[in-house]
């Protein structure tokens, strides 16, 4: 069942020297329990599409709809808080929070009691393979793979149905990439989440349920 | 989503705890606030000191005036008629309105008139308003008879003070003025002078020469003080508004009516001008310090928060609202500003600068400027484009 759709999505923005047409009429839909890869060359518009899917901005043309409601018409902050988790290549963990606090952060935002938030976060950290003795460590004390696991645990703790990942394995070695990707697949297949992964790693993309190829701001093909 | 905590939740407390985990940045911002408050207290303390110095100078400085001729000379050899002293004392006001309230402009009037006596032989009769009117009495001791004191010199009774060693016939001293006055009279001795001149007999300035009969006489010197230094210009204006007292000038021509008055206020005015100039400078520095504090805190906050742009963007990605980020950054800066301000106040107390209500108000204004700078930083931090900040390629 498609929970997120992009209808004729266009996105342009102005730089100092020119108008950039980042997306030129993208149509696609994303379903629960499925991992979708968006692939394309640098500058093709895949990260822009992911940002629009995450509600970080609204399209300049067309619409993004979550369960039928346009993101342009909703309180996108509240929507993201309850429904969307974004995972980035460079993890974007808070440097001065411990692994446990990082994972619990969305729950703090939801104003859950501290104890309850941290119990849930601890469970999610354990689920992605972070050992309890690492819960109190700051991100700089963790490896790249461990940091990405904490970022995924943060996404899981938020309870979001929609998980968007932008080059989640871009900074990881092969083994860690495999492990992280396995976790993302597990999220979709075992926990019923809708997972969208932006990547330029074709080997990784081929392991997903569906691949959208984007080129010059348009969907060039689907596999 | 389960049970939700009421109010602000744990996040504000967490962000304050994080301040301790960023000691470098936190110390920098707190130090800026502490320095601002300390400098503010210091400036205010200096201002209070200058203000007090001005008040003390005005309260404790006596402006001496010397009566001279119209050219500013002959201060000790005046040929001044005694009614001028009465003018200074305000005793002539009923006849000349310009002299009204003259006694409110001047104080401590001293005047001395020496008359040569034919008897006692080789003595002088000195008419005085007070002991200070004759410098020869500066180191002298006067022992008054019971029931008498220095105020007798301001009265009009026919009494006198005689040198310690002078012999008299009982309680009275007979004197005879030298020609052309050629008058004799008997004065009650009310005190003796030791350590003063041996050939001078002192009597009250306004003593009638014969029973009930006064007359104008010539005096040698006259000085007085400005009554109120805080109203110096007003007192001078009052003094020189009469036709009898003028500002001395070397080009002036004596007209037999006016006399000069030298007002020795140069040092006083110069001191006062310097103090007021210092005070003006300090008052000018205060708004400058406020602006400087605002600027420094802005840039300190900006530099510290600039490195957190991605952190703020990540918060936005997680669903945190702009105003929540603004509130969090402002709250952090407020905590650091208050902590730094408190340290600054303690430092001011410890170093003896003192903290008064004015200093506290200024410190509050300094912290306020700090927060204003911080608010702008927080606004900038919260308004960044999340899409741009989170982009890793393209």
% pLDDT > 70, chain B: 95
Q: Write the pLDDT tens digit of every residue in B299-341.
A: 777 787 777 888 888 888 888 888 888 888 888 888 888 899 8
B20 interfaces chain A, CB cutoff of 8 Å: no
- Reported as type and span, the H/E element at residue A188 is helix A174-189
Contact A11, A52 (CB under 8 A): yes
Query: Nearest residue on chain A to B323, judged by CA atoms?
Result: A77
Residue B273: is its pLDDT beyond 70? yes
**Cβ within 8 Å of residue B296, ≥6 positions away:** B32, B36, B373
**Can you tell me whether residue B348 is helix, strand or coil?**
helix
Contact A109 B11 (CB under 8 A): yes
Give the residue on B whose Cα is nearest the Cα of A41: B394
Residues 4-23 of A with CB under 8 A from B: 22
- CA pair distance B298, B366, nearest whole angstrom: 12
Question: Can you tell me the distance from the alpha carbon of A133 to that of B160, in angstroms, rounded to the nearest whole number?
Answer: 107
What pLDDT, on a 0 to 100 scale, did the predictor assign at position A4? 94
pLDDT value of position B257: 87
- How many angstroms separate the Cα of B25 from the Cα of each of A45, B333, B379? 37, 11, 19
A14-61 pLDDT tens trace: 888 888 899 999 999 999 999 999 999 888 899 899 999 999 899 999
pLDDT over 50 at B3, yes or no:
no
In the sheet where A194-199 sits, what is the strand order?
Answer: A84-88, A162-166, A194-199, A34-39, A210-215, A218-222
Please tell me the predicted confidence (pLDDT) of residue B1.
40
Chain B within 8 Å of A167 (Cβ-Cβ)?
A: yes
Of B5, B14, B313, the CB nearest to A113: B5
Per DSSP, helices labelled H in B168-265 are: 232-240
- In total, chain A counts a number of residues equal to 223
Closest CB from B8, B18, B392 relative to A90: B392
Question: In chain A, positions 95-154, which contact chain B (CB-CB < 8 Å)?
Answer: 95-97, 101, 105-106, 108-114, 116-117, 154
Pick the residue from chain B with its C-alpha nearest to A217.
Answer: B394
- Check CB contact under 8 Å for B393 and A47: yes
Q: How confident is the model at residue B393 (pLDDT cuts 50, 70, 90)?
A: very low
- What 3-state DSSP class applies to B28? helix
State pLDDT tens for residues A203-215: 888 889 999 999 9
- Name the residue facing A43 among B311, B321, B394 (closest C-beta): B394
Q: Where are the alpha helices (DSSP H) in chain B?
A: 11-21, 23-60, 83-88, 102-105, 232-240, 266-306, 309-317, 322-350, 357-382, 386-390
Q: Which of A57, A109, A167 sits opposite B319 (nearest CB)?
A: A109
Contact B74, B259 (CB under 8 A): no
Helices and strands (H, E) in chain A, number of each type: 7, 10
Contact B10 A113 (CB under 8 A): yes
A185 near A106, Cβ under 8 Å? no
CB atoms within 10 A of CB B56: 11
pLDDT digits (tens, 9 = 90+) for A119-169: 999 998 998 889 999 999 999 999 988 998 899 899 888 888 999 999 888
> Chain A: residue nearest B393 by CA?
A42
User: Where is A21: in which H helix or E strand?
Assistant: strand A19-31
How close does chain B come to A81, measured CA to CA in Å? Answer: 4
- Taking every pair of Cα atoms in chain A, the longest distance, rounded to a whole number of angstroms, is 51
- Is residue B7's pLDDT more than 70? no
Question: With contacts defined as CB-CB under 8 Å, which chain B residues touch A51?
Answer: 386-387, 390-391
Q: What is the 3-state secondary structure (H, E, C) of B106-118?
A: EEEEEEEEEEEEE
| A71 shares contact with chain B (CB less than 8 Å) | no
Q: For residue B2, what pLDDT is reported?
A: 43
User: Looking at residue B44, what is its pLDDT?
Assistant: 84
Which residues in chain A have their CB less than 8 angstroms from residue B310's CB?
A: 92
Mean pLDDT of B204-230: 85
d(CA A131, nearest CA chain B) in Å: 23
Contact B319 A84 (CB under 8 A): yes
User: Helix or strand or coil: residue B32?
Assistant: helix
Residue B4 banded pLDDT, cuts 50, 70, 90 = very low
B3, B18, B318 member nearest A116 (Cβ): B3
Structure confidence at residue B193 (pLDDT):
95
Shortest CA gap A10–chain B (Å): 15
Look up tokens 């009769």; give the residue.
B125
Contacts of A174 (CB under 8 A, 6+ apart): none
A-B C-beta contacts closer than 8 Å: 109
What residue in A sits closest to B322 (Cα-Cα)? A77
- The span from the CA of B348 to the CA of B355, in Å, is 7
pLDDT reported for residue A123: 92
Q: Which residues contact B318 (CB under 8 A, 6 or more apart)?
A: A80, A81, A85, A105, A106, A109, A154, A158
Contact flag B316-A96 (C-beta cutoff 8 Å): no
């Amino acid at each position: 069942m498609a929970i997120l759709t992009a209808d004729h999505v266009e996105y342009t923005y102005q730089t100092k020297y020119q108008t950039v047409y980042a997306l030129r009429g993208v149509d696609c839909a994303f379903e629960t329990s499925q991992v979708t890869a968006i692939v394309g060359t640098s500058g093709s518009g895949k990260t822009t599409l992911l940002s629009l899917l995450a509600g970080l901005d609204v399209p300049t043309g067309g619409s993004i709809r979550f369960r039928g409601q346009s993101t342009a018409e909703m309180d996108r902050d509240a929507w993201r808080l309850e429904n969307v988790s974004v995972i980035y290549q460079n993890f974007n963990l808070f440097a001065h929070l411990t692994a446990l606090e990082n994972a619990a952060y969305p729950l703090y935002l939801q104003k859950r009691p501290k104890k309850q938030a941290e119990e849930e976060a601890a469970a999610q950290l354990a689920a992605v393979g972070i050992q309890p003795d690492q819960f109190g460590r700051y991100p700089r004390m963790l490896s790249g793979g461990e940091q990405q696991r904490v970022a995924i645990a943060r996404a899981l703790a938020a309870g979001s149905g929609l998980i968007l990942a932008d080059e989640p394995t871009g900074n990881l070695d092969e083994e860690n990439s495999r492990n992280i990707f396995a976790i993302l697949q597990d999220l979709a297949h075992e926990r019923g989440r809708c997972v969208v992964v932006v990547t330029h790693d074709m080997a990784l993309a081929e392991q997903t349920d569906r691949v959208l190829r984007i080129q010059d701001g348009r969907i060039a093909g689907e596999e | 989503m389960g049970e939700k905590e009421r109010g602000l939740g744990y996040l504000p407390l967490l962000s304050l705890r994080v301040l301790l985990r960023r000691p470098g940045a936190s110390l920098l911002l707190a130090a800026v606030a502490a320095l601002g408050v300390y400098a503010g207290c210091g400036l205010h303390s200096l201002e209070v000191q200058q203000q007090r110095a001005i008040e003390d100078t005005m309260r404790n400085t006596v402006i001496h005036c010397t009566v001279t001729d119209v050219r500013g000379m002959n201060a000790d050899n005046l040929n001044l008629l005694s009614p001028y002293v009465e003018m200074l004392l305000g005793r002539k006001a009923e006849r000349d309105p310009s002299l009204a309230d003259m006694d409110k402009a001047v104080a401590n009037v001293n005047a001395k008139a020496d008359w040569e006596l034919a008897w006692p032989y080789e003595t002088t009769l000195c008419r005085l308003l007070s002991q200070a009117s004759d410098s020869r009495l500066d180191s002298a001791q006067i022992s008054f008879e019971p029931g008498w004191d220095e105020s007798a010199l301001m009265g009009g009774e026919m009494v006198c003070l005689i040198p310690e060693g002078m012999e008299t016939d009982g309680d009275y001293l007979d004197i005879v003025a030298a020609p052309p006055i050629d008058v004799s009279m008997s004065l009650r001795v009310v005190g003796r002078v030791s350590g003063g001149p041996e050939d001078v007999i002192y009597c009250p300035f306004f003593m009638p020469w014969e029973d009930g009969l006064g007359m104008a006489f010539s005096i040698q010197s006259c000085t007085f003080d400005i009554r109120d230094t805080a109203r110096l210009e007003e007192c001078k204006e009052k003094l020189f508004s009469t036709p009898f007292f003028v500002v001395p000038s070397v080009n002036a021509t004596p007209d037999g009516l006016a006399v000069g008055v030298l007002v020795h206020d140069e040092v006083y005015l110069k001191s006062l001008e310097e103090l007021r100039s210092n005070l003006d400078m300090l008052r000018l520095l205060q708004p400058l310090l406020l602006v400087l504090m605002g600027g420094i805190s802005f840039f300190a906050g900006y530099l510290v928060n600039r490195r957190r742009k991605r952190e703020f963007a990540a918060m936005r990605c997680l669903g945190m609202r702009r105003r929540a980020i603004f509130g969090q950054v402002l709250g952090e800066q407020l905590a650091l500003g208050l902590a730094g301000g408190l340290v600054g106040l303690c430092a001011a107390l410890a170093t003896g600068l003192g903290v008064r209500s004015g200093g506290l108000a200024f410190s509050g204004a300094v912290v306020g400027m700090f927060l204003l700078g911080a608010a702008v930083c927080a606004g900038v931090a919260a308004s960044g484009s999340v899409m741009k900040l989170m982009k890793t390629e393209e």
